[in-house]
Structure 1
Amino acid sequence: MSHDNVHHFLMEAHHIAQEAQFIIDSLPNAETPAVERVTHQLSAIRTILSTLDDPHSDSRLWRDIRKDTLESFRQIFIYLTANDLLDMDNDIHRSCLYLVFQPRIQASLDRTRDAWNHHKIRTAKNKTPVALYELSREAAIARGYWTGDPGDDIATVANDPLYAYDGEAPLPPAGENAVDPENVRDVPVGIAAEREAGIAINDDDELNAIKELMPDFNFDEDDNNWGIDVYCRAVVHLSAIMV
């Protein structure tokens, strides 16, 4: 199932739900066409979501990710730390860890994603998420509310503090304004602030510099030991260069 398309659908559904709430708040002064339009949209959203409803989906998805993707790497990092092979305060250790294991973790996540997208959902008559997505897309096209537009890219959304803000839109009820969190879009700026917040560990420039220092080193080599041997060799190699 395409992450971008699902994200776009959920964003549209959220926008429609907000619009519906505004219409409800403005009753009985809301225009009849607006009420009818949002009613049809909400009905269509409910239909799509109901086809994807599986009471075990969330728990199974996260269980599979932990078991099949993350747990093995967690055990590797525990092993490295316990044997004094990994010190996260050591720049060389930290950088080599990322360069060796980030591609491996991503590949494992990709395999888990593909397996999930093709698993059968009992409550959906044993259809897979991929099949359900295609059926929902075809239904949306037939009903005329699928535009095919994936929406703005993530960078545009993340970098525009006023993204999706409509200055002319009706204000939400005063009760909601009273409990809205402030500065929800505040994010750490710079690698130091990101490290302090636990968001980032390695700086891209630092990683690129290390790759330039080790142009012939194969961080992706299959050592038949989960990348542990590659990591250890990378640490020794980089330490010798940095001396």
Structure 2
Amino acid sequence: MSKTANAGGHEGSAPHLHRLVLFSDAVFAIAITLLAIEIHPPEHWTSIADLFGQMGHKLWAYAVSFAVIGVYWISHRRIFARLRTANGVLDVLNLVVLGLIGLLPLVTELLWEHGGAAAIVYLGLVTAIGFALAALWGYAAFAGELTGPVHRGEALFTLARVAIAPGLMCGLIFFALNHAWGLILLALALGAFIAGGRYMRRQAEQAVEIDQPEEASA
């Protein structure tokens, strides 16, 4: 355990991290639940087609927000899987992330009620969540030394991916709804992030393989 982590003032690494993960998972789950609770069927509808025609914009906004929360939950889980300890600064950064996640149901409702006018607010919130989660990872990996050994290139790629990927994807989704070739941009962006992630993982694995013989010879 690092000296920085010891200075954080907590009762123990494993219980601290476990409680952070449980609390965080609960907030993510409640946010997704609130997305569905806010969807109400219309008072009058004549057929299934009419029903989905009236609710289409709500279901679309729900699907996008569900995906956004899901992506951020996966990123959050992967970050915490890398942590070996936690401290007060990490607690505060995590609360900021969760506070922004909790606003997504509200902003999603604005999106389906006001459409394009609320899209900027929605994208702003999604981007803010990405920056907050990136700040959490950046502190844990670089400043707080709360993680195990992480290849620097992989850590930097994770920082960039967490910060910009969800906001970029949301923007491209909105763009693709109005421009068919926006789907091509969306596919290219997804491919770039997947390929970049695999490349960084390979680099990290190669770095570990190089370090192991050196440690053995020493």
Bigger-Rg structure (1/2): 1
Taking structure 1 as the reference length, what is the TM-score of the superposition? 0.26
Taking structure 2 as the reference length, what is the TM-score of the superposition? 0.28
Structure with the largest fraction of helix: 2
